[in-house]
């Protein structure tokens, strides 16, 4: 195995790196901690690794100071934990002069394939002069498990499919902060494409039929490999039926009781606790996300109905039946994922009168932002309803601003409570850092 590692190390060091579309995520390595990149399948984690490698090289790091290994390589399928140390021995056999003198940069892709990998990387960080970067399937590499196994020697970063700005880069479109009329029209047109194609890097340039086929293959792999296979689920059809129900009901409320009753109506003998586990595993795998009601009481937050969103709005279109999902739900899903990229603190808000606001978001400084999503405000009754809910929430939370994200209107409305900004969706997702 040591000879194979030598060959793999040299093969990479002599290769040309394909860095793809630059991702707009700032990953900051921390001394003596492994940098762990997690996210849904096919979100571009491996390509991000190559971008990190390119940054190191641009800073003056020699390529022979870098070790890149993809553990999904079929030649490594027989590798066990006790064989991982052969990586270090193989490298220092090639470069003995670097032992204890040069920093070695280890990039381990899909390392979750090796049972017990955490102990190896934790020891490497303690005993060698190195930096370690790791990617892997999120469901097999949970941040809470990594933190426990590596005794605090890891910091995790989330990788999502393309944001709108990243999609613009994929299309070769410059995204300036100050837009000319021509730039604005081009970006608006490209946003319509982004609404259709979603953010998965591989499918961004494909036609509809091929994109749907690939999305469905993604979805099947997520369900089988990240849930059914990992957790040895005894009712795989129940998981599949539940996943499709969640797709059909994207941006809608659910409760574990309702989900359990639905599965039982299909003939599945599953308990509430099993369904609760399935929902947690969906989130661990970055397939679906649960949004709780905003409430100071964790007990009330957990017992109230929750809302469900998917990792990608276009994936929803590809795997759902299309009966219940409408364009308004898909727009709300797109806005949710845009917010979720920025923070995990995304909730929905229910006013004292029962009116609801789609999202209340808290940033790192605990500043609150209310966001309502409505596809069209052309109907005066719809506009009045959305403004009324937002105004009431602003008053209850003592906030003087609120946002309505829509597809057909932009204006500022002044109320006795404060200012409501009605913003086109493309502008909101384009300038998301200005809002969150």
Where does a domain end: 272, 291, 325?
A: 325
Distance CA 345, CA 359 (A): 10
Same domain? For 337 and 321 the reply is: no
Residue 144: its pLDDT value, please? 67
Residue 56: its pLDDT value, please? 97
Low-confidence ranges of the chain (pLDDT < 50): none
- Residue 394: closest CA among 412, 368, 365: 368
Number of domains within the chain: 3
Distance CA 272, CA 268 (A): 12
Same domain? For 253 and 133 the reply is: no
Residue 206: its pLDDT value, please? 93
Same domain? For 224 and 281 the reply is: yes
| Boundaries of domain holding 267 | 206-325
Same domain? For 17 and 62 the reply is: yes
Distance CA 10, CA 63 (A): 10
What are the backbone dihedrals phi and psi of residue 307, each rounded to the nearest 5 degrees, phi first? -110, 150
Instruction: Write down the H helix ranges in 156-255.
Output: 164-170, 181-197, 208-223, 230-231, 236-248
Where does a domain end: 159, 174, 193?
A: 159
- Residue at 170 is within a domain: no
Distance CA 360, CA 372 (A): 9
Same domain? For 146 and 243 the reply is: no
Same domain? For 140 and 7 the reply is: yes
| Cα-based distances in Å from 71 to 34, 80, 244, 284 | 17, 11, 31, 21
Same domain? For 257 and 368 the reply is: no
**Which residues, other chains included, contact 384 with Cβ-Cβ below 8 Å and sequence gap of 6+?**
none
Distance CA 294, CA 133 (A): 36
- Residue at 180 is within a domain: no
Same domain? For 142 and 116 the reply is: yes
Report pLDDT digits (tens) over 80-94: 999 999 999 999 999
Same domain? For 214 and 288 the reply is: yes
Same domain? For 238 and 353 the reply is: no
Where does a domain end: 325, 357, 375?
A: 325
Residue 176: its pLDDT value, please? 81
Burial class of residue 404 (count of CB atoms within 10 Å of its CB; 0-12, 13-18, 19+): buried
**Which residues, other chains included, contact 109 with Cβ-Cβ below 8 Å and sequence gap of 6+?**
45, 46, 49, 68, 69, 70, 71, 72, 135, 136
Same domain? For 283 and 340 the reply is: no
Distance CA 377, CA 49 (A): 43
Most distant CA atoms of the chain, gap in Å: 75
Same domain? For 416 and 393 the reply is: yes
406: CATH: 3.40.91.50
Distance CA 312, CA 322 (A): 15
């Amino acid at each position: 195995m040591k000879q194979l590692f030598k060959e793999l190390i040299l093969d990479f060091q002599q290769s040309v790196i394909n860095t793809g579309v630059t991702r707009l995520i700032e990953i900051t390595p921390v001394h003596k901690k492994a940098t762990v990149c997690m996210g849904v399948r096919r979100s571009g984690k491996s390509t991000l690794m190559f971008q990190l490698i390119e940054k190191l090289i641009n800073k003056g790091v020699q390529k022979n100071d870098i070790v890149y290994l993809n553990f999904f390589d079929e030649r490594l399928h027989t590798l066990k934990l006790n064989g991982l140390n052969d990586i270090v021995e193989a490298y220092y056999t090639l470069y003995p002069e670097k032992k204890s003198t040069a920093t070695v940069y280890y990039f381990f892709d899909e390392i979750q394939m090796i049972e017990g990998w955490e102990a190896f990387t934790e020891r490497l960080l303690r005993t060698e002069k190195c930096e370690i970067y790791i990617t892997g399937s999120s469901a097999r590499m949970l941040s809470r498990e990594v933190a426990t196994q590596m005794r605090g020697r890891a910091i995790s970063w989330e990788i999502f499919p393309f944001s709108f700005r990243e999609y613009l880069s994929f299309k070769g479109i410059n995204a300036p902060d100050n837009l000319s009329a021509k730039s604005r029209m081009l970006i608006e047109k490209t946003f319509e494409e982004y609404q259709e194609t979603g953010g998965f890097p591989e499918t961004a340039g494909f036609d509809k039929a091929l994109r749907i086929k690939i999305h469905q293959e993604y979805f099947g792999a997520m369900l089988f490999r990240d849930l059914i296979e990992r957790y040895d689920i005894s009712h795989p059809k129940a998981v599949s039926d539940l996943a499709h129900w969640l797709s059909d009901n994207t941006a809608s409320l659910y409760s574990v009781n309702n989900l359990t009753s639905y599965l039982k109506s299909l003939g599945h003998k599953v308990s509430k606790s099993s369904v609760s586990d399935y929902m947690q595993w969906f989130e661990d795998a970055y397939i679906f996300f649960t949004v709780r009601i905003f409430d100071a009481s964790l007990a009330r937050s957990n017992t109230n109905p929750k809302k469900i969103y998917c990792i990608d709005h276009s994936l929803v279109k590809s795997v759902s039946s299309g009966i219940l999902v409408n364009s308004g739900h898909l727009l709300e899903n797109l806005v949710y994922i845009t917010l979720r990229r920025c923070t995990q603190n995304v909730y929905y808000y229910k006013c004292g009168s029962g009116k609801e606001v789609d999202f209340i978001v808290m940033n790192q400084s605990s500043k609150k932002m209310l966001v309502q999503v409505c596809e069209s405000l052309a109907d005066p009754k719809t506009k009045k309803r959305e403004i009324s809910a937002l105004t009431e929430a602003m008053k209850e939370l003592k906030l003087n601003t609120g946002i309505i994200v829509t597809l057909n209107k932009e204006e500022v409305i002044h109320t006795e409570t404060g200012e409501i900004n009605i913003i086109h969706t493309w502008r909101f997702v384009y300038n998301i850092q200005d809002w969150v």
